[in-house]
Each structure stands twice: as structure tokens, then as C-alpha cells.
Chains A and B, each alone.
Chain A
Amino acid sequence: MTFEQFAVARLPSLLRYAVVLTGDRDLAQDVVQEVLARAQVKWRRISGSDSPDAYVRRMVLNEYLSWRRSWAFRNVHAAGERLTEIEASRGGVGDHADGVVEADALWSRLALLGRKQRAVLVLRYYEQLDDQSIADLLNCSPATVRSQASKALRTLRLEEQDQRQRIHAEEWS
């Protein structure tokens, strides 16, 4: 497979992955552009690997984790905090009946996470990888992955929401 064929076939998927990872359209563009420009230079090596797609996705992950242009994150954070405040003043996620609104609110709160915590959630729930695979990608132990995921869920207040919903369901059963 040539680089051109790869890019035509996989670019939309790479961009979706980068958008979910970064939570920011412009940053996703920068990250993917940088990665593909580098991948093109070393394409012979990449195309000879077991899975060029996995190789390039890993490059995208590493680029996101090491990205130095922190202004983008500050902006996203600020936006996320503002949206969270608005949402809190409305009475919290539990009051939203509409699933799309809830997904939007959660998407905004994801901007509050650190890069590694967000990456763990994306790898676990979007890429559907197990903790061992995530640990391999992030070069850490599975215990660290679980710890990062747990912290992220606490920040997002998802576990307590699960608990509230369970109690609510039990009361009505």
C-alpha cells in the first residue's frame, strides 16, 4: 500500500480519532497533519509493519500526549469549565432527559481532564481496548491505567451518577 492509498483510505478515520482524543477540531487537524507529514517520510518502514494503521494511530496518540502548544488546552479547559458551570446552574445532568444534550454536556466536561486521563477513556471506550493494550500504548502498567480511568470518572462525576440512577431504579422497582 502506498502512502497515498493509505491516506485516502484512512484519513477520515484518523481525523475522527484525533477529534475524540483532543476534543478540539483545530488541534486534531494540527496533530494529524504533523503525524502524516512525518509518516510520509518514513512510509517504507511504516508500510512494512504488521499494521500501518495501528502504527499511525499510535503516532497520533503520542503526538497528542506530547503536544506543546498548550494554549489550545487552556482554551478548551476554559470552555469546558464555563459549560460545566452553566450546566450546574441548570441543576445538573440528571435533569436532562435528552440523550444528545447529555452527550454534549459530557463532551464538554471531558475537556476538564488531563491529556493522559482523557486518552485512557478514549482508548477504553472509543477504541474499545483492554487495559493491558492501553498500558502498552501508554508505556505504563495496567494498574496505572485503572487508576487514571478511576480519577477521570470521578472528575466527570459519572460513577456517582451511575449510583444515583441505580438507587432511583431500585426505588421504582
Chain B
Amino acid sequence: MTMHADRLREAFQTHENETPDPALVYARVEELARKRRWRRRSAQAAGGAVLSAGLIAGIANLPAILPAGPQTVPVAGLPAAAPPEASALPSADPSAAPPLDAEKELLDQWDAFFTAGYSYNEAVELAKLWKMSPENIGAVKAEAGRRLLAGETLPVEAKPDPDVTTADPEATADPEVEKRLDAYFLAGYDWEDAEKLAKLWKLDDPYEAKVEGGKRLLAGKKLPIKP
């Protein structure tokens, strides 16, 4: 092996562990997935299946599961940065997996937060008001959800997500169309598939392909491409 190869390998290996906190990244992935599902209201009926309680458990358990290794950045557990009043949150002890009821509680709190129409932006505002770390936004939403479930009113109003309200073609109120879209997504098809189907069926818009695809699936037909 050449000298420069050894040097490059050493440079990469010396810095490869300067990673962000995996638990934080995973929580943000969940956040993105939720936001996209919110936008795709048609699939929301089955949303619980996409983001299952198991996934929540995975987030809560991540700090315990992920290897500490030579990581230079400490792995912060999701609830670890919660303020004292957030005592209802799962244990911050990363060595112990949170009990199932605590996971369910966390899920319920998040659901309460999102069901009330709140989203990431309001969670950031709440983090400021409550002096919680904005990097631990999952804990902020859990605390907000806990207060909502206790019948309290939050100090910020839920604002509609501009991404959702601006002429989202999938934010339809037609139950029949929603049913078709549900069938389409539940069969495992996505946007890229809709683009292909739109070409095959010579439709202008992939959205129309999704509705048409769902219609055919509900009629027991097969689509010309696999999900």
C-alpha cells in the first residue's frame, strides 16, 4: 500500500467518530417522517403503522443500544435534557431500557401534541419559553403533550404548516379519493412509483396516477409496476 493511502486512511479514521449524536439524528428522522406524513394526510389513517410504538421504543432505547465506542461527541439521551418539571418523561438512565408503559406515555404525549395541530416550529418556540434545549425537541413535544393531556393550554398557538396549507393536492376532503390514496400507499407505492405510472398511463400529474392506482387496487387489479 502506498504512503499516501496510509495517510489518507489515518486522516479519515482519526476524524470518522466526530459524528452528531445518533439519538438526536434518529429523533429528527422521526420528526421529518411525521411532518411528511402530516402533509400526506391521505395516508394518515395508517400512520400509526408507519411510525409504530416500536419505533418510539427504538428512539427511547437508542442511547442504551448504540455503542459508546470512541465517539468524541457524547450521546445524549432524548429525555436527558428535560427540565425538572418534565419528570413524567421516561427515565434518563441510558443503562436501563424504559418500561413499556413509559414508551406508551411518550407516544401518547407526542400524539396529543400533533393532534392538537402543533408541529416542529411551535416546539422550538416552546423550548425557548420553557428554557429547554432546542436540540432535544422530542422532549419538548412530550412535555407539551403531557400538559395538553392534563387539560392545560400551551403558551403558543398552533399555526397551520404553510407547506400543508398551500394547495397541497393531497390534502383532499373527498373521502373516496382519500380511500384510493390510502390503498395506494398501503400497498407500498410512493411518489417515484406515481411518476412512473403517470408516464405509463399518460397522465399529466403523478397525483392523478396515485388516485387511479388506488382505484385499481381497490378493484382488485394489479398495477403495471411493483412497489
Contact = CB atoms under 8 A, between A and B. Distances in A.
Contacts of B32: 33-34, 37
B15 A19 contact: yes
Contacts of B227: 44-45
A165 interface: yes
Given A7-B58, A37-B29, A41-B36, A159 B4 contact: yes
Interface residues of B, number: 44
Interface of A: 2-4, 7-8, 11-12, 15-20, 23, 25-26, 28-29, 32-34, 36-37, 40-42, 44-45, 99-100, 102-104, 106-107, 110, 121-122, 125-126, 153, 156, 158-159, 161-162, 165
Contacts of A45: 188, 227
A8 B14 contact: no
Contacts of B62: 8, 11
Given A11-B25, A36-B29, A103 B10 contact: yes
Contacts of B221: none
Contact of A11 (B4, B8, B22, B192): B22
B121 interface: no
B2 A162 contact: yes
A159 B8 CA distance: 12
Nearest to B56: A4
B111 to A, nearest CB: 18
Interface SS majority for chain B: helix
B16 A16 contact: yes
Contacts of B8: 106, 121, 125-126, 158
Given A15-B25, A33-B32, A37-B32, A107 B20 contact: no
Contacts of A42: 190, 192
B63 to A, nearest CB: 11
Given A12-B69, A15-B19, A153-B4, A2 B29 contact: no
Interface of B: 2-5, 7-20, 22, 24-26, 28-29, 32-33, 36, 50, 52, 54-55, 58, 61-62, 65-67, 69, 71, 73, 188, 190, 192, 227
Given A45-B188, A159-B4, A162-B3, A110 B11 contact: yes
- The CB with the most chain A CB atoms within 10 A, among B17, B26, B192, is that of B26
A100 B7 CA distance: 10
A125 B190 contact: no
A122 B190 CA distance: 32
Contacts of A156: 4
